[in-house]
Structure formats: C-alpha cells, structure tokens
Structure 1
Amino acid sequence: MTSEEVDAFLAEQHTCRVATVGRDGPHATPLWYAWHGGALWLTSVVRSLRWADLRHDPRIAVVVDAGTAYGELRGVELRGRVEVVGEVPRTGEPVPELDGPERLFADRYTGGTVVHDGRHAWLRLVPDRITSWDFRKLV
C-alpha cells in the first residue's frame, strides 16, 4: 500500500491486534485504537498483562487487517516502541497531546464522549517500521 492508502486503511478499521513480550513469552490481544499524526494511539487497562509487558519491554508489534477471501486480504503491521502519554491511570488532567487521539477515539467508539475511567492510560506508538499488504492488487 502507498502511505496514503495506509493512512486511509488505519483510519477506517476499528480493531488492532497487539503483540507484546513478557517474562512468560509473547502475548497477543485485540484493542481499539486511534491513528493520529503518524502514530498509533492505544488505551490500555493499567492493571493488565499487556501493560506489565510494555512497562518491562516497550517493544510492540501491532496488526490491523481486513478481508475474508484470499483476494480481499489487506493489512498493516506496525513495529516499534510505545511511550506513555498522560497520567497513569488517565483521570482527565489537561494533556494537549491527547486532545486529537481522545477526540478520534471518542467519536469512533463511545458516541463522542471522552471517557476517563481511572483504569486506562494512553500509549503512543510512532512506528519504526510499517509493513503493508493488499491482495486486492494481485487480482
């Protein structure tokens, strides 16, 4: 995919699959996300295995994919290191960097309401590497 196609694809999909590495090995989980400003924004429960893995080792791989039949398959893999943005857990303190991602996330998943539940915090992945595929182009 071109970079424009990657941006459009990541903006339209809703679920990603996050892979982390912990003391017991790899761990993969689905999450909602926001693609904003060239970064993948993830909100995670701070009392989760995923959060513990990433605090120990911030390396991450994330896959967003779509399609059922072979000729429909397309997706993006993003790799790099996450960084925490904002307070942990997030309670709503003003953090200008989070204005865009929180608004996108709220519009996509919570009917436009920004939720600060005191259980989640934000992670930002500015990918070191992006790999994409689009089998529709093969047909």
Structure 2
Amino acid sequence: MITEHEPQTALDTRFSSPDATATAWPEGRAGLAAAELYWLSTVRRDGRPHVTPLIAVWLDGALCFCTGPDEQKARNLAHDPRCAITTGAGVLREGLDLVVEGAAEPVRDDATLRRIAAAYVAKYGEEWTFQVRDGAFHHEGHEALVFRVAPATAFGFRKGEYGQTRWRF
C-alpha cells in the first residue's frame, strides 16, 4: 500500500473569478474517485496525440486503469509513459472538472492487482470482474495490462464561480 501525500494547493488568480477560493485536495480527490468515465491522453510515437475514454479506480493515491496489450494507448505508454487523465461533468456552468498529469506505471504485482480488481467490482459491478494471474488482468480469454497514474500535478476547474486550482505533489 502506498501512502498518499498532501499536495501544495494554489489558486491561479489569472484564470479565476475575483472572489474564488482554491478547491481543497480532498474535494478534488473525491471527484477523481467518484467519476465513472475518464479520458486518457497519450502521445503516439510520431508525436500525434491519442485520446480515449476509459473507466478507472482511485486506489492508494493514484488512478488505475487497464487496457489490452495491443491497444493504441498501451503501445503509446510503452514508449512514453507521460499522460493526462481528465474527468468532469461535461457541462458549462457548474461542477468541477479535473485533470491529472503524471506517468503511467505498469502494475504487475498480483497482490496489488487483486486489490485493483476488487476496486473495479466495488465501483462498476460484477461485470467488471477480472481474474489476476501472471501480472495482468484476465477476462473472457483476454489479457489486460494494468497501469497506475499517481498525480505529479493535478488541476481543478470549478465552474460557475470560476476558479482554477493547481495541486503539486
């Protein structure tokens, strides 16, 4: 189990309403944990961006997700682990949009993978049950690699009374 560190929190007044306040990290973390859908941005070998939706779980201070070894995002992360994961309400005037920037680290330890698999079932239901063996998830004859992205920097974009918060870890 990894200990989660409290980040430095700062409101960017250049991009915030005059009376906005910084969003506290516990609220940002709760939003990351509760979201159902995320968008992963990676970089292809030729430098072009690749963005794809996925599901993920927050565990031990990081977002964890899985992908097939032959999928574009897995190939991109193999050559450059830097990525961004975004989530939010998808509406203009309310809510909190969140961005996590970091490096995707492969998770191969079966004990940790079992904890991540249990978190998938708890969050998304029994249809997301994975078998764990040989350092990967397995489901209906398919293998999935598992990655964790601990935030290096994260951003919260509060809408309505607009405020942009940066969390540095």
TM-score (structure 2 length as normaliser): 0.70
Contact kept, 8 Å, 1:66 with 1:74, in 2: the verdict is yes
Match of 2:43 in 1: 21
RMSD over equivalenced CA pairs, Å: 1.8
TM-superposed CA distance for 1:106, in Å, is 1.4
TM-superposed CA distance for 1:136, in Å, is 4.1
Does structure 1 residue 98 correspond to structure 2 residue 113? yes
Counterparts of 1:113 and 1:35 in 2: how far apart (Å)?
A: 15
Counterparts of 2:127 and 2:154 in 1: how far apart (Å)?
A: 29
Match of 1:90 in 2: none
Q: Any gaps of 5 or more consecutive residues in structure 1?
A: 87-93
Does structure 1 residue 62 correspond to structure 2 residue 85? yes
SS of the equivalent of 1:66 reads coil
For the pair shown, which has the larger CA radius of gyration, 1 or 2? 2
Counterparts of 1:127 and 1:113 in 2: how far apart (Å)?
A: 25
Percent of counterpart pairs with the same letter? 26
Residue 136 and residue 102 in structure 1: after superposition, are their counterparts in 2 closer, same or farther (change >3 A)? farther
Counterparts of 1:80 and 1:123 in 2: how far apart (Å)?
A: 12
Counterparts of 2:30 and 2:81 in 1: how far apart (Å)?
A: 26
Q: Any gaps of 5 or more consecutive residues in structure 2?
A: 1-22, 131-137, 163-169
